[in-house]
Amino acid sequence: MKNQDSVVEDWISERMYHIESSGIRKVFELAKSIKDPINLSIGQPDFDVPEEVKKSAKDAIDSGKNSYTLTQGIPELRSLLLGRVNNQFQGDNRDLIITSGTSGALVLALCCVVDPGDEVIIFDPYFVMYPHLVSLAGGKSVFIDTYPDFEIDIKKVEKAITKKTKVILFNNPANPTGKTYSLETVKSLAELAEKHGILLISDEIYSVFNYDGAFQTPAQFNRNVLVLDGFSKSYGMTGWRMGYAHGPIKLIQEMIKLQQFTFVCAPSMVQYAGITALQQDMSGFIEEYKQKRDFLLNGIKDYYEIPNAGGAFYLFPRAPGGNSTVFVEKAIQHDLLIIPGKTFSSVDTNFRISFAAKKHVLERGVEVLRKLSKLFND
């Protein structure tokens, strides 16, 4: 008779063998074993949800707004968001769906457009979920190397396109690199997707965290771009799980159909709180994060090779010696939690630092990072 593990293993689908546990989650677990960790691994805001937003969620619960909502989202929230979208992209005839997180929107989008064997172009380094969600949809990830400066070479992208290419997955500002892309790059990518009839998915969850210039979206150059965004990063609502997507009507309608049979709807009370969230001025927090970026960058730039990081919460320096796993292991011995580059990439040369942390934690982190640089370079 087989033991229990052997029996269960026979049940596991083939697709799950292409999906690994997140390296970030492993660091989260490790943090529990360190008494006073210097945690620069977490990709979520260190500020809390605004009090007015919390109150709106509580009021929604207390007033009985706890049932399923319309699959596409409550009309009040959709109307506000769609009004903003239509003002920005006049004449593009776009529709919008409220989703269970931005990752939920990506799951719906990929499952609606990717057939088994279809190819999805992903820029390396990439957000850890991307290749795994492509595998879940039955697709094949095609990686385009952007090292060392994380710029996108449009010629490389066009060369990678085949008859099987269905999607280009683009993240701006980017996780894990903090890279922000120029108007020229964004425009070229949008036009390339349109030329070849490929869906360009633009993950813009960090769009408000764009520190050194105006944010650029490819949707301004290609009306068929699918834009993903949400409330997690900009309002500190990571655990509330609410995002949204806007794009071509036909695609959004298919995503609504699939959401009916998967997530059903985004959490009801969070949708009502989202109306209040959209009325909040978060500019002070954005400015604070720019200052944190500058503090961390200025504190270690003389010790590490750091490509330009104009947005999001992250720096992605090159590890001394070129092996980030070895470097991160040494950092852990000094109570510093950071993420090795192999979590986000096919190579393991860089490591991710999150500056979504309190100032005193960043100060401790800078001190340890300087010390580690000397240890590796002496």
DSSP codes joined into one string, 164-213: TEEEEEEESS-TTT-----HHHHHHHHHHHHHHT-EEEEE-TTTT-B-SS
Question: Does residue 59 sit within a domain?
Answer: no
User: What's the pLDDT at 297?
Assistant: 96
Are 296 and 233 found together in one domain? no
The CA angle 132-136-162, to the nearest 5 degrees, is 80
Helix axes of 359-377 and 283-300: crossing angle, nearest 10 degrees: 20
Print the domain residue range for 248.
65-277
Are 70 and 26 found together in one domain? no
Question: Does residue 55 sit within a domain?
Answer: no
User: What's the pLDDT at 10?
Assistant: 76
Q: What is the total residue count of the chain? A: 378
Are 222 and 155 found together in one domain? yes
Question: Does residue 356 sit within a domain?
Answer: yes
Are 196 and 324 found together in one domain? no
Per residue in 207-255, pLDDT tens? 999 999 899 999 999 999 999 999 999 999 999 999 999 999 999 999 9
Per residue in 303-313, pLDDT tens? 999 998 999 99
Question: Does residue 206 sit within a domain?
Answer: yes
* Domain boundary, last residue among 262, 277, 292: 277
Are 73 and 43 found together in one domain? no
How far is Cα 216 from Cα 183, in angstroms, rounded to an integer?
6
Are 368 and 328 found together in one domain? yes
Going residue by residue through the chain (378 aa), what tens digit of pLDDT does each one get?
A: 566 667 677 778 877 777 666 555 566 566 667 788 999 998 899 999 999 999 999 999 999 999 999 999 999 999 999 999 999 998 778 999 999 999 999 999 999 999 999 999 999 999 999 999 999 999 999 999 999 999 999 999 999 999 999 999 999 999 999 999 999 999 999 999 999 999 999 999 999 999 998 999 999 999 999 999 999 999 999 999 999 999 999 999 999 999 999 999 999 999 999 999 999 999 999 999 999 999 999 999 999 999 989 999 999 999 999 999 999 999 999 999 999 999 999 999 999 999 999 999 999 999 999 999 998 887
Question: Does residue 337 sit within a domain?
Answer: yes
Are 269 and 286 found together in one domain? no
- Structure tokens that stand for 233 in this block: 């990063």
Total structural domains in the chain? 2
Are 222 and 344 found together in one domain? no
Question: Does residue 58 sit within a domain?
Answer: no
User: What's the pLDDT at 353?
Assistant: 97
CATH number at residue 271: 3.40.640.10
User: What's the pLDDT at 176?
Assistant: 97
CATH number at residue 288: 3.90.1150.10
Question: Does residue 54 sit within a domain?
Answer: no
Are 111 and 25 found together in one domain? no
Are 206 and 150 found together in one domain? yes
User: What's the pLDDT at 42?
Assistant: 87
* Domain boundary, last residue among 277, 312, 347: 277
Are 289 and 180 found together in one domain? no
Q: What is the pTM of this model?
A: 0.94
Are 39 and 118 found together in one domain? no
Q: Which residues of 331-343 are buried (b: 16+ CB within 10 A; e: fewer)?
A: bbeebbbbbbbbb
Question: Does residue 126 sit within a domain?
Answer: yes
Q: For 201-231, give the secondary structure using H, E and C.
A: EEECCCCCCECCCCCCCHHHCCCCCEEEEEC
